[in-house]
Amino acid sequence: MTLLLWLGSQLSSCWSNFSVLGVFLAVFTLLLDFMKRRKKWSHYPPGPLSLPFLGTMPYINFRNPCHSFNQFHKKFGSVFSLQNCWTNVVVLNGYKTVKEALVHKSEDFADRPYFPIYEHMGYGHKSEGVIMARYGHVWKELRKFSLFTLRNFGMGKKSLEERVREEAKFLCSAINAEKGRPLDLRFLVNYAVCNVICITVYGERFSYGDETFKKLLHLFENFISEETGFLPQLLNVVPILLHIPGLSQRVFPAQKAFMDFIDVLIDKHTETWDPANIRDLTDAFLNEMNKGKEAEERGFNYNNLRLVTSDLFTAGSETTSTTLRWAFLYMLLHPEIQSKVQTEIDKVIGRERPPTMEDQANMPYTNAVIHEVQRYADLVPIGVAHQTYRDTELQGFFIPKGTTVITNLSSVLKDESVWEKPNEFYPEHFLDANGRFVKPEAFMPFSAGRRVCLGEQLARMELFIFFTTLLQKFTFVLPEDQPKPQENARFLFINIPHPYQVRAIPR
């Protein structure tokens, strides 16, 4: 009995010690979390109450972040702060605020945060491609190279515009083959736009029925969808979780498969590379790599080759093809606008001659419609995250170096202080009283400043050539007995229209 009492007292003592230790660890952990979340700066932007460990993440709908941001915008103003676990985030809203940051203080906001979820794809501190790269000399070199090569590509061969016009013919032929039957434009438009970037970057054009091509586009669609939602955001701010064996492959299988596909294209390309015959951007990059140690220091290495080409494929395909899908959806919903565009096409171009970029200056209404599609569709509502390159001030608030910055581009494209009818499809936003084309400064679908989309020039060309060519040849109508298509979007980092069917009637 005495032994039992003694054992009981010892167990009670141990349990008491464990309880004290547990309380101590809990208090220590909460205190450590508080210290990591505590703001030590004055005049830091206001924001919602930060919860232990998770910060403000539970308040954000990561399937529709702009809705959450707009609510906080009304409550806290045009500059407010969030906290993803222990990562400080500042969100910028409205035209004046975003312009001050990206244009007037472009270098202050020119950096990028590091995204651990892309490590398994090859992104790292020494190889970051051109979109995700940190602000510095390597990024400047790679961006300069990419812009120069895209702008001047051809070297005595077909110009980029000629390639787009040629692809527009293939697209018209594919649509015409449907003989007016209901079809989903999504796939054909994707094939056409992706072919332009494929032949520019990889020197290869695919037929629309090519199974390899279909696989590439399928992988890319899944790639984008994997980046949406709460889990990718959590993994970015708590990267230790990525060290769980097999987690990246399970959560991001399409990302890895997409990069594996890119590797196959590059390896196949490298086998036929001839320094004396530059066929495309990949050849031009290989030539730079061949310049030795100096080129390596400027970022021209094999891993950056695969990342830069995949970045250009990403920037030059899905956004443009999705914008075109929005454009033809709006033509279905607004047949009177489609008719006015076709009248202008007939007047300026006619029914036979292919459209060229020179026609754009003489087609203010068509130009206004294309710009309004980009504004109203609000394709990349929150853009790619920025990071402050140094301590800075914005709208009277202090934002320290290394802060993740989100530009709410949706709040710019639908700023009520700028646009007459921000929540309606209204091409007159881009026309003056005399019917001449005008472009307000708040038109920022490609972002602005030092990180403005490097594919902007190509995208503008493709949008004009593809849109005018298709409306020159076809009238797009809703199939009989089909419900009116949905106008709201699905958010998968970019705003994507719900699937819809259309009949293309030859003119």
* pLDDT tens readout for residues 320-342: 999 999 999 999 999 999 999 99
pLDDT > 90: percent of the chain: 53
Question: What is the C-alpha R_g of the chain?
Answer: 26
* pLDDT tens readout for residues 371-397: 999 999 999 999 899 999 999 999 999
Give dist(CA 136, CA 128) in Å, integer.
Answer: 11
* pLDDT tens readout for residues 161-196: 898 999 999 999 999 999 989 999 998 999 999 999
State the chain's mean pLDDT as an integer.
Answer: 87
Residue 10 lies in a domain: no
More confident residue, 124 or 172: 172
Supply the pLDDT for residue 172.
97
Supply the pLDDT for residue 349.
97
326: containing domain? 40-506
Residue 15 lies in a domain: no
Decide if 131 contacts 111 (C-beta within 8 A): no
* Positive or negative: CA dihedral 262, 265, 270, 273: negative
pLDDT at 505 over 90: yes
Residue 134 lies in a domain: yes
* pLDDT tens readout for residues 133-156: 889 899 999 999 988 888 766 433
Residue 18 lies in a domain: no
Residue 20 lies in a domain: no
* Positive or negative: CA dihedral 375, 376, 380, 381: positive
**Residue 414 pLDDT level (bands cut at 50, 70, 90):** very high
- pTM for the structure as a whole: 0.89
- Find the range with the poorest average confidence among 216-230, 250-264, 270-284, 444-458: 216-230
CATH number of 374's domain: 1.10.630.10
Give dist(CA 270, CA 280) in Å, integer.
Answer: 12
Tell me whether strands 404-408 and 474-477 are parallel, antiparallel or unpaired: unpaired
Give dist(CA 214, CA 57) in Å, integer.
Answer: 36
Supply the pLDDT for residue 9.
61
pLDDT at 29 over 70: no
Supply the pLDDT for residue 209.
85
Q: What is the dihedral of CA 207, 208, 211, 216, to 10 degrees?
A: 100
Supply the pLDDT for residue 12.
61
Q: What is the dihedral of CA 160, 166, 168, 169, to 10 degrees?
A: 170
Tell me whether strands 503-506 and 474-477 are parallel, antiparallel or unpaired: antiparallel
Residue 7 lies in a domain: no
Give dist(CA 399, CA 253) in Å, integer.
Answer: 36
Residue 413 lies in a domain: yes
Residue 334 lies in a domain: yes
Decide if 266 contacts 306 (C-beta within 8 A): yes
Supply the pLDDT for residue 10.
55
Q: What is the mean pLDDT of residues 80-91?
A: 94
Supply the pLDDT for residue 250.
80
Count of domains for the chain: 1
More confident residue, 470 or 275: 470
